[in-house]
């Protein structure tokens, strides 16, 4: 899968894409990341990529022509692919959307900056706007990195067996259960006995219950969306009773 990233700051991406799992996926050729500097598509001698807003007001607006020219080049090479603009006005990114995006053959990601982008960029080339959360970043670059990272790890072959996503948070609609590794005891805190028992059925039940408990306590909104199995419903009942018992006792 390819990710073509249109940005005024391509150097921001070195580091996150040159380490660990993403680096390995690029080396294996499973993903291809191309950084395109919008400034390379300016035509004046000052390489102007932004200008003051019509109607006045603070800040600068990214100009339409350089972005359009950069996209034309990509469009010739790639054909029809989604053009996603990162912005706080976009659709909120969640694991469902990540999964859908990972089915694409490639994505063009457009990183906004300054006060915004000339609206005609959206009219002409943007197919989707995505936000990574209800807060404002200085630009779309960090958001584009988040999208690439989350989408890339859904592509077969990107994660090794050790990093399987089957038990991920959100993959099955629940938060993760707690993990432990050696030592067995640290500063008086013990690893839960069941994890040392070798009883795979009991371990599986404990993990499911802990995942449900965390989700119930921290993100009840996720439980509303999930269809719970009979076993999960029973576990949830147990959890609620334990919590009620804790309050009364």
Residues in the chain: 249
Residue 88 annotated as catalytic: yes
Closest CA to 167 of 227, 210, 135: 210
Give me the least distance between CB of 7 and ligand ADE, in Å please: 12
Spell out, one character per residue from 150 to 169, where the chain touches ligand ADE: x when CB under 6 A holds, - when not: --------------------
Residue 168 annotated as catalytic: yes
φ/ψ of 59, rounded to 5, equals: 80, 175
Interface region with ligand ADE, contact rule CB under 6 A, candidates 84-92, 99-107, 159-167, 171-179: 84-92
Query: 3-class SS at 246?
Result: helix
Interface region with ligand ADE, contact rule CB under 6 A, candidates 1-9, 135-143, 178-186, 194-202: 135-143
Q: Do 7 and 111 meet the contact criterion of CB atoms below 8 Å apart?
A: yes
Q: Which of 38, 137, 150, 158 binds ligand ADE (CB under 6 A)?
A: 137
Q: Is 58 in the site for ligand ADE (CB under 6 A)?
A: no
Q: Which residue is associated with the tokens 């020219």?
A: 69
Which of residues 9 and 207 has its CB atom nearest to ligand ADE in the complex? 9
Spot the catalytic one: 16, 53, 82, 88: 88
Q: Which of 61, 108, 143, 148 binds ligand ADE (CB under 6 A)?
A: 143
DSSP class of 223? H
Residue 65 annotated as catalytic: no
DSSP class of 173? S
Q: Do 138 and 98 meet the contact criterion of CB atoms below 8 Å apart?
A: no
CA atoms of 95 and 147, how far apart (whole Å): 10
Q: Is 86 in the site for ligand ADE (CB under 6 A)?
A: yes
Q: Is 136 in the site for ligand ADE (CB under 6 A)?
A: yes
DSSP-assigned letters across all residues of 10-41: GGGGTTGGGSHHHHHHHHHTS-EEEEEEGGGG
Q: Is 192 in the site for ligand ADE (CB under 6 A)?
A: no
Q: Which of 132, 150, 152, 239 binds ligand ADE (CB under 6 A)?
A: 132
Closest CA to 40 of 15, 17, 8: 8
Query: Which residues are part of the catalytic machinery?
Result: 88, 115, 153, 168
Residues found near ligand ADE in the complex (CB under 6 A): 86-88, 112, 131-133, 135-137, 140, 143
């Amino acid at each position: 899968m390819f990710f073509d990233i249109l940005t005024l700051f391509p150097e921001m991406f070195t580091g996150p894409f040159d380490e660990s799992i993403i680096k390995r996926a690029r080396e294996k050729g499973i993903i291809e990341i191309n950084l395109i500097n919008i400034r390379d598509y300016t035509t004046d001698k000052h390489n102007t990529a932004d200008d003051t807003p019509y109607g006045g007001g603070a800040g600068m607006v990214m100009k339409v022509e350089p972005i359009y020219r950069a996209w034309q080049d990509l469009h010739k090479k790639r054909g029809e692919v989604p053009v996603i603009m990162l912005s706080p006005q976009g659709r909120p990114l969640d694991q469902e959307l990540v999964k859908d995006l990972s089915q694409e053959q490639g994505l063009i990601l457009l990183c906004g900056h300054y006060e915004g982008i000339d609206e005609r960029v959206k009219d002409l080339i943007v197919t989707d706007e995505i936000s990574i959360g209800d807060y404002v970043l200085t630009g779309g670059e960090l958001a584009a990195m988040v999208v690439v990272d989350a989408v890339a790890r859904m592509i077969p072959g990107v994660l090794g067996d050790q990093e399987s996503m089957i038990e991920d948070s959100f993959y099955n609609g629940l938060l993760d259960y707690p993990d432990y590794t050696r030592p067995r005891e640290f500063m008086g805190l013990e690893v839960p006995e069941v994890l040392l028992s070798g009883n795979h059925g009991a371990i599986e039940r404990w993990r499911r219950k802990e995942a449900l408990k965390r989700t119930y306590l921290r993100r009840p909104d996720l439980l509303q969306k999930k269809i719970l199995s009979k076993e999960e419903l029973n576990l949830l009942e147990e959890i609620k009773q334990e919590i009620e018992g804790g309050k009364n006792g």
